[in-house]
Amino acid sequence: MRATFIYGAGDVRVQDAPDPTLRHPTDAIVRVTRSCICGSDLHPYRTLPARPTGKTIGHEFIGVVEEVGSEVTTVTKGDFVIAPFAVSDGTCEFCREGLQTACEHGGFWNDTALGTAGGQAEAVRVPFADGTLVVVPGSVDEALYPGLLTLSDVYGTGWHAAVCAGVTAGDTVVVIGDGAVGLLAVLSAKQLGAERIILMGRHPVRTDLGREFGATDVVAERGEEGISAVLELTGGRGAPRVLEAVGHLPAYEQAVGIVRPGGVISRVGVPQYREGPIGWSLFGKNATLTGGPAPVRAYIERLLPAVLDGSVQPGRVFDRELGLEEVPDGYRAMDERTALKVMVRP
């Protein structure tokens, strides 16, 4: 089969790889119908040291089950499935609590210890198929692929940001970042009843989509200017709910600057920094810092019906679709910000 490998910063290649096979009776083999490039994939694309052997990449995919192990009971050959970005057994203490990203026996795609490969490929072996995969009922129209694909990561991550922040009816929310996760955090906050949603982003095509998803205000400024603009919009008090969907230190510093006393900062952007302000600037406000890797497996059943009936269209974040062989072009487009999110068609 063909699969995507990364050899270092800026060096993504599509090459031949062994077809996946069942290793354990709890495995399944999924033929990928769509995968995509994530904003978090850009972090290694920009910084990974060169290596003589490539590593698979990609962690979002949907597809059709081609084979299952003898102990798999909830997934059968021919099922159309959503694969969350974390592998989980569905039975451990953390999975039962809805925190599948902390599964005691699971992990993530492209995990050497777990033996998983990447989702930007023609097929993938899925460990713990019963716990990991979510079956989409009935026949699946190809027009639904984009929305279903967002449930593997970015929609669930945006939802996680809003849920962790405690967004509820009538709230004022600030979303930092106009990438796919930020835009779907806007959508999620709107679904949860937020009355005012301030989107901090500087790319008009993206922020226009953010307005369609529910943003009431857009702040293009960054840093201290951005903080001042949000404070002005909130009467000098700041926002009670701040959703940080970028992962870089300046975005977190903005979040600390605009959160209201007693408010919540919810981070879902993968942090690309080791140290940040947690002293008086956070402590003095009695602010809560929360968030983390989204257990999207816990949210799929809640979010799936509206995607299936078309009343919610998170798949609009995909603005480009490429064949698998064109994946390197997709990375360049997202790195250069000429594409918001690229969908991959094996």
Indicate whether 176 and 239 sit together in one domain.
yes
Q: Same domain for 257 and 161? A: yes
Question: Using CA atoms, how far apart are residues 3 and 19, in angstroms rounded to an integer?
Answer: 10
pLDDT computed for residue 266 by the predictor: 98
Q: Are residues 123 and 232 in the same domain?
A: no
CATH number reported for the structural domain that contains residue 133 in this entry: 3.90.180.10
Q: Return the SS3 of 252.
A: helix
C-alpha span between 82 and 61 (Å, rounded): 7
Domain that includes residue 190, residue range: 155-291
Closest CA relative to residue 175, chosen from 147, 209, 210, 221: 210
pLDDT (0 to 100) of residue 285:
97
Low-confidence ranges of the chain (pLDDT < 70): none
pLDDT at 272: 93
Query: Of the candidates 166, 148, 205, 106, which has an alpha carbon nearest to the alpha carbon of residue 288?
Result: 166
pLDDT at 20: 98
Looking at the structure, tell me whether residues 14 and 149 fall in a common domain.
yes
DSSP string, 254-308: HHHHHEEEEEEEEE-SPP--S----SHHHHTTT-EEEE-S--GGGTHHHHHHHHH
Helix (H, G, I), strand (E, B) or coil at 204: helix
Q: What is the pTM of this model?
A: 0.97
pLDDT at 260: 98
Number of separate domains in the chain: 2
Rounded CA-CA distance 332/327 in Å is 9
Angle between helices 180-191 and 154-165 (to 10 degrees): 50
Instruction: Return the bridge partners of 344, or none.
Output: 35, 322
Same domain, 333 and 321: yes
Q: What is the 3-state secondary structure (H, E, C) of 51-87?
A: CCCCEECCCCEEEEEEEECCCCCCCCCCCEEEECCEE
Residue finishing a domain among 291, 311, 328: 291
Closest CA to 273 of 255, 299, 297, 296: 255
H or E element: which one contains 12? strand 11-16
User: Where among 255, 272, 291 does a domain terminate?
Assistant: 291
- 259-296, pLDDT tens digit by residue? 999 999 999 999 999 999 999 999 999 999 999 999 99
User: Which of the listed residues 261, 276, 291 is the one where a domain comes to its end?
Assistant: 291
Give residue 183's pLDDT: 98
Do both 142 and 203 map to the same domain? no
Q: Tell whether 139 and 220 lie within a shared domain.
A: no
Asked if residue 217 and residue 141 are part of one domain, the reply reads: no
Same domain, 25 and 141: yes
Task: Say which CATH number the domain at 159 has.
Answer: 3.40.50.720
pLDDT at position 18: 97
Answer yes or no: are the C-beta atoms of 242 and 162 closer than 8 Å: no
Whether residues 264 and 213 fall in one domain: yes
